[in-house]
């Protein structure tokens, strides 16, 4: 089976078409490059349909149609049952806060919410805030032996009063992938809903909200080759049950409108429609059967992406494993089943900032810190070393770029 058509992939990102000795972008878990086709659609929207939706004149109807296309294509990307299960908003942080606020009226003393401690603070703080109204928040901790969240550690936290289990599908620090369907099945068996942060997963693997049966799922489009904009998925009946976050007269069944106060950004929502189109085209060039559906093409694209990313991760992990002065944080293996190519490490006797600053002049964009997963980094005892050094790949990175990082690290660590 043919692998990823890397030349095609790179050609679709304007930022990657410049000087071959230019910047290597390895901060993709922070934010990916954007597709040229997304930029084109944003420009198209703004030049030909930049009016308010909801009126009866033709341009307004075109604008509304474009917004609907954004929803429908994102629904296809994540396998939602219907387009109105896709809620757009400015960021995952805001979407999570919105859901926590919208759920708050039906939670009170005695109710329990389980929250993982390995998440970005965006998916911890809003849930911890429910304590103010008497909700009991229980923490699901990192398992030190396996360096991931273990379902067996979740079990004893669940009780007849557990209303919600909140967790990340993939840590933004070290890329370990959690078994979302298994965790969801366990939570459902105990009568709890699940809220999943897919921000660090969605750029790398096929999202399948229906297959996994998750209740809510959130991710950021600026990490999935799109603009600064975010998606909240909710099962229709779950969204129906959330409290209105818009004007008092907005009816409970106006979905997703009641969760998009003031309207979402139209041009960015339309721009997002180009992302699945790109993945369909990539799939067609990377092994999808021509007779396959658009969703099958997207799946083929992600299969090819997973293989390519495993190769990239292995090139760097092989180097990291070979260095006695380096401790890999998270899985030391490159298997695409276990991890995405977000790699973190610390260097004995060096602050993480000093390693990254030594790399900066070599035109390789990596970074250090806690990446707002502060509780995890503190639990790992790494706050004092300025967190971790993180290099995070996307599918458009090349093997040569991975080698450039290894060479740069070798030089930086020699001084
Ligand atoms: C895993 C994870 N969750 C949530 C967020 C917050 O996303 P946003 O910047 O869209 O609010 C981030 C951002 O880096 C993240 O990495």
Residue-level pLDDT, tens digit, the chain, 415 residues: 579 999 999 999 999 987 767 899 999 999 999 999 999 999 999 999 999 999 999 999 999 999 999 999 999 999 999 999 999 999 999 999 999 999 999 999 999 999 999 999 999 999 999 999 999 999 999 998 888 999 999 999 999 999 999 999 999 999 999 999 999 999 999 999 999 999 999 999 999 999 999 999 999 999 999 999 999 999 999 999 999 999 999 999 999 999 999 999 999 999 999 999 999 999 999 999 999 999 999 999 999 999 999 999 999 999 999 999 999 999 999 999 999 999 999 999 999 999 999 999 999 999 999 999 999 999 999 999 999 999 999 999 999 999 999 999 999 999 7
All CATH 3.40.640.10 domain ranges of the chain, comma separated, are 94-263
Q: Whose CA is nearest to atom 7 of ligand 1?
A: 92
- The answer, yes or no, to whether any atom of ligand 1 lies below 6 A from the CB of 397, is no
pTM value surpassing 0.95? yes
CB under 8 Å to 250, separation ≥6 — which residues?
A: 244, 257, 258
- The answer, yes or no, to whether any atom of ligand 1 lies below 6 A from the CB of 308, is no
Which DSSP string corresponds to 114-181? EEESSS-GGGTHHHHGGGGGT-EEEEE--BTTTTB--HHHHGGG--TTEEEEEEESB-TTT-BBP-HH
Q: Which atom of ligand 1 is nearest to the CA of 29?
A: 16
Which of 265, 190, 273, 260 lies closest to 226 in space, CA to CA? 273
Kind of pairing, strands 112-116 and 136-140? parallel
Query: Residue 191: left (phi > 0), alpha (psi -120 to 50), or beta?
Result: left
d(CA 372, CA 115): 16
- The answer, yes or no, to whether any atom of ligand 1 lies below 6 A from the CB of 230, is yes
Q: Which helix (H) or strand (E) holds 279?
A: helix 274-284
pLDDT of residue 1: 58
- The answer, yes or no, to whether any atom of ligand 1 lies below 6 A from the CB of 169, is no
Q: How far is the CA of 274 from the centre of ligand 1 (A)?
A: 21
Beta pairing partners, 365: 25
Task: Calculate the CA dihedral of residues 393, 170, 181, 194 and round it to 10 degrees.
Answer: -140
pLDDT of residue 147: 87
CATH assignment of 94-263, given 3.30.1280.10, 3.30.70.2610, 3.40.50.300, 3.40.640.10? 3.40.640.10
CATH no. of 6-35+295-414: 3.90.1150.10
- The answer, yes or no, to whether any atom of ligand 1 lies below 6 A from the CB of 170, is no
pLDDT of residue 21: 74
Kind of pairing, strands 342-347 and 388-392? antiparallel
Kind of pairing, strands 193-197 and 162-168? parallel
Beta pairing partners, 247: none
User: Counting Cβ atoms within 10 Å, is residue 44 exposed (0-12), middle (13-18) or buried (19+)?
Assistant: middle
Q: How far is the CA of 120 from the centre of ligand 1 (A)?
A: 6
Token pair of 405 as six digits:
């990082």
Our mutation pick for probing the ligand 1 site, out of 28, 94, 120, 203, counting the most ligand atoms within 8 A of Cβ, is 120
All CATH 3.90.1150.10 domain ranges of the chain, comma separated, are 6-35+295-414
């Amino acid at each position: 089976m043919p692998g990823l058509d890397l030349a095609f992939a790179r050609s679709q990102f304007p930022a990657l078409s410049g000087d071959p000795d230019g910047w290597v972008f390895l901060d993709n878990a922070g934010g990916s490059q954007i597709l040229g086709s997304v930029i084109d659609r944003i420009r198209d929207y703004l030049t030909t349909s930049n009016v308010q939706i909801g009126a009866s004149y033709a341009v307004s109807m075109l604008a509304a149609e474009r917004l609907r296309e954004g929803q429908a294509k994102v629904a296809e990307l994540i396998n939602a049952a219907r387009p109105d299960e896709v809620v757009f908003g400015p960021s995952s942080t805001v979407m999570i806060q919105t859901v926590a606020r919208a759920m708050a009226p039906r939670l009170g003393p005695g109710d329990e919410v389980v929250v993982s401690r390995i998440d970005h603070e965006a998916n911890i703080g809003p849930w911890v805030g429910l304590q103010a109204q008497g909700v009991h928040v229980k923490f699901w901790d990192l398992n030190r032996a396996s360096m991931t969240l273990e379902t067996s550690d979740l079990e004893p936290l669940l009780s007849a009063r557990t209303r919600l289990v909140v967790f990340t599908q993939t840590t933004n620090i070290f890329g370990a992938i959690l078994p979302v369907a298994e965790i969801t099945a366990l939570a459902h068996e105990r009568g709890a809903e699940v809220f999943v942060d897919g921000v660090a997963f969605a750029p790398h693997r096929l999202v399948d909200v229906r297959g996994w049966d998750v209740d809510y799922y959130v991710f950021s489009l600026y990490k999935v080759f799109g603009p600064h904009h975010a998606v909240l998925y909710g099962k229709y009946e779950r969204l129906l049950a959330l409290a209105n976050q818009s004007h008092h007269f907005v009816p409970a069944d106006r979905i997703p409108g009641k969760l998009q106060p003031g309207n979402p950004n139209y041009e960015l929502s339309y721009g997002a429609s180009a992302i699945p189109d790109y993945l369909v085209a990539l799939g067609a060039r990377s092994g999808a059967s021509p007779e396959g559906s658009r969703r099958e093409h997207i799946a083929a694209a992600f299969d090819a992406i997973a293989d390519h990313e495993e190769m990239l991760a292995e090139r760097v992990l092989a180097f990291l494993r070979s260095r006695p002065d380096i401790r890999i944080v998270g899985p030391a293996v490159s298997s695409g089943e276990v991890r995405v190519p977000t790699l973190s490490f610390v260097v004995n006797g060096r602050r993480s900032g000093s390693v990254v600053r030594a790399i900066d002049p070599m035109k390789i964009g990596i970074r250090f810190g806690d990446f707002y997963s502060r509780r995890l980094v503190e639990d790992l005892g790494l706050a004092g070393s300025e967190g971790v050094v993180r290099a995070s790949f996307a599918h458009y990175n090349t093997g040569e770029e991975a080698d450039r990082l290894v060479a740069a690290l070798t030089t930086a660590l020699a001084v």
